[in-house]
Amino acid sequence: MAVEFDRRRPLQELAPFFMRIIVDPVRYIARNRMGFIGFCVLIFILLLCFIGPYFVPLDTQARIDRIYSPPSREHPLGTDSEGKDIFSQIVNGGKDVLIVAFLSGLITTLIAAPLGAIAAFIGGRIDNLITTIADVVLTIPQIPLLLVIAAVVRFSNVYMLALVLGITSWPGLLRAVRSQVLSIKEKDYIEAARCLDMGTPHIIFREIIPNMMGYVVINFILATTAAVYAQVGLILFGLVPLAGHNWGVMINLAWVRGAIFFKHSIWYIMAPVMAIVLFQWSMVTFTRSLEEIFNPSLGSGN
């Protein structure tokens, strides 16, 4: 007797996996109203910057007769100093900014979290050495430090820029992580792990860091938002090559071309600024949901 193949079975087996991977996290995020709004805005910006360019190509055609045109159906955000569509520049100009921001935040977190945990848990000379290095870097203002580095290192691509921003932004997070670990290492489960002789690497990376993951994730988001301001500042000062196109380049060109002196240039100036502000707001607001996910005792908020 032939066995009938149930075509619905694969879908039924995938349903719990789909619920666990997508639906459940969204449900937790939605517990905080403002956090959920920030999450939705963040997803919209990511889709706009990474998927949008396939549907809205960058406008490269100069139109002298349409310089600083006001918003219209054809140009939702008006045109720039060459008559090019501003909306297409916003859509195509966010990808590099976001890549640098997320990579820089990731590098900062990967440096600061392990080193901060190691310094606090081991203590002694290791702690003194790590905190001394962090204090030296922390006392140097970041923007002047980046200006000096930019004069020596050529930012040939977004990955080099992200690397430089990441390795200059970790001391603050390291000290914050260290202070958290100093209290966590006195907990009973850490003492139990010590008594069982589980080893320092296991205790740090399997016991301590996972239990402060909420704190690390939220600080990763804050490091990401700080990287946006840092890279836009470098571009505005002209210390990053203006090859390609992003929101920072738009601000730089608006500055050097004297857009502020033209009557209808407000859209050209404010469009990239508002794009950056909206991204920053969505990231910071999203942390409200993350705080409740990692710390359910906070309860539901608005």
CB 161 within 8 Å of CB 155: yes
CB 145 within 8 Å of CB 233: no
Q: List the one residue out of 250, 287, 238 whose CA is nearest residue 78.
A: 250
Q: What is the CB neighbour count within 10 angstroms for residue 83?
A: 18
Q: What pLDDT is stored for residue 1 in this prediction?
A: 45
Please tell me the distance from the alpha carbon of residue 25 to that of residue 12, in angstroms, as a whole number. Answer: 20
Q: What pLDDT is stored for residue 230 in this prediction?
A: 85
Please tell me the distance from the alpha carbon of residue 201 to that of residue 229, in angstroms, as a whole number. Answer: 35
Q: What pLDDT is stored for residue 3 in this prediction?
A: 46
| pLDDT per residue of the chain (302 residues) written in tens, 0 to 9 | 444 445 555 545 555 655 566 666 777 777 888 888 999 999 999 999 999 999 988 888 888 888 888 888 888 888 888 888 889 999 998 888 899 999 999 999 999 989 988 988 888 888 899 999 988 888 887 777 777 777 777 777 788 888 888 888 888 888 888 888 888 887 888 888 888 778 788 888 888 888 888 888 888 888 898 888 888 888 877 777 655 678 888 888 888 777 777 777 788 888 898 999 999 999 999 988 887 777 655 555 45
CB 92 within 8 Å of CB 56: yes
Q: What pLDDT is stored for residue 280 in this prediction?
A: 92
Q: Token pair of 211, please?
A: 């239990």
CB 58 within 8 Å of CB 88: yes
pTM for the whole structure = 0.82
Q: What pLDDT is stored for residue 5 in this prediction?
A: 45
Please tell me the distance from the alpha carbon of residue 176 to that of residue 88, in angstroms, as a whole number. Answer: 40
Please tell me the distance from the alpha carbon of residue 5 to that of residue 210, in angstroms, as a whole number. Answer: 44
CB 194 within 8 Å of CB 203: yes
Amino acid at 202: H
Alpha-helix runs per DSSP H in the chain? 8-18, 24-29, 33-50, 86-92, 95-122, 124-139, 142-152, 158-167, 170-184, 188-195, 200-202, 209-211, 213-236, 247-256, 266-294
Q: What pLDDT is stored for residue 41 in this prediction?
A: 94
Q: What pLDDT is stored for residue 46 in this prediction?
A: 94
Please tell me the distance from the alpha carbon of residue 114 to that of residue 280, in angstroms, as a whole number. Answer: 26
Amino acid at 113: A
Q: Residues near 11 by Cβ (< 8 Å), separated by ≥ 6?
A: none
